[in-house]
A = this chain, B = another copy of it.
């Protein structure tokens, strides 16, 4: 039916009975995105939390000079949103769009709040998801502070080998915090070795 992946994702941390599972699924809406299509624009209210079934998205900003900076990629089995905007229902700081044709499942804030009320186990689930995301982000901050661009690139392709295959170098550079020109130079230098 297409809910297998998300149920599996949730089963990693909490066990749901049939009623709970059905209730949860009833709160989801599915959506497809063409490559390049926006899920969220800067200034929009982020109305939903998104679970990716298929495809690849990016969460990013565009600075005053028009340069893009990617705070996260999302692929199959990941949750993405502008969490600040989602929680506060204030205008979003980030943009989200699809880097590939994608399929997602969405849950609105109202429905997620209802889910927390009716199935409090989901508090635990999202606590754990957030713990993992927090740890990953902290490590990324540390790496941005302590490593050269070359080391960050090497760590990136080591940590996400499959993801790197799916991304253009421009996107990788926007994630690493360097220019595409410099990434190209780094790669040349690395293959020469």
Contacts and interface: CB of A to CB of B under 8 A. Distances in A.
Contacts of A140: 141
Interface string A137-157: 111111011100000000000
Nearest to A120: B120
Contacts of A187: none
Given A61-B146, A116-B124, A138 B83 contact: yes
Interface in A70-88: 70-72, 83-84, 87
A127 interface: yes
A130 interface: yes
A3 interface: no
B63 A146 contact: yes
A103 interface: no
